[in-house]
Amino acid sequence: MRKVEHIGIAVYSLEKAVPLYSRLLNTPCYKQEAVDSEQVQTAFFQQGDTKIELLEATGEASTIRRFLDKKGEGIHHIAFDVEDIYAEMERLRSEGFTLLNETPKPGADNKLICFVHPKDSHGVLIELCQEIR
């Protein structure tokens, strides 16, 4: 894993959170993108060589909705940038980690993504991201 690609933060409303984070970080949101397969709307802020990803649920079946209902707003996941997500998934499987998807799936910001179950990482949801080249 090469670096922290982004930190995912679950929020109730991007309409409220985007201006707040823009003031907090002193930088504009560079992209908002819906990912229907995850039932989320995302908003990205570049911070050096990493990003903040704000996530709002767009459907009742959204995992973000479930997280917000259970835990409220806050850090949802840490995403790491990988060179080859297929090889990394294979390595993690061989190390005994539980992956939440069989194959990489399309994420936001032109990425292929997968997730490791938080039960295998001391309570932190870990995402792997590979740039779609």
Ligand X SMILES: CC[C@H](C(=O)O)C(=O)SCCNC(=O)CCNC(=O)[C@H](O)C(C)(C)COP(=O)(O)OP(=O)(O)OC[C@H]1O[C@@H](n2cnc3c(N)ncnc32)[C@H](O)[C@@H]1OP(=O)(O)O
The pair of structure tokens assigned to 109 is 């910001």
Rule CB under 5 A: which of 15-34 touch Co ion? none
Among the listed ranges 64-72, 74-82, 97-105, 116-124, the one in contact with Co ion (CB under 5 A) is 74-82
Cβ distance to ligand X smaller for residue 23 or 85: 85
**Number of other residues whose CB lies within 10 A of the CB of residue 72:** 9
* Sheet containing 31-35, strands listed edge to edge, beginning at the edge strand earlier in sequence: 31-35, 40-47, 50-57, 3-10, 74-81, 126-131, 111-116, 105-106
Backbone angles phi, psi at 75, to 5 degrees: -60, 130
Cβ distance to Co ion smaller for residue 8 or 104: 8
Examine residue 8 and tell whether it contacts Co ion (CB under 5 A).
Answer: yes
As measured in angstroms, the least distance from the Cβ of 96 to ligand X is 17
Cβ distance to ligand X smaller for residue 64 or 82: 64
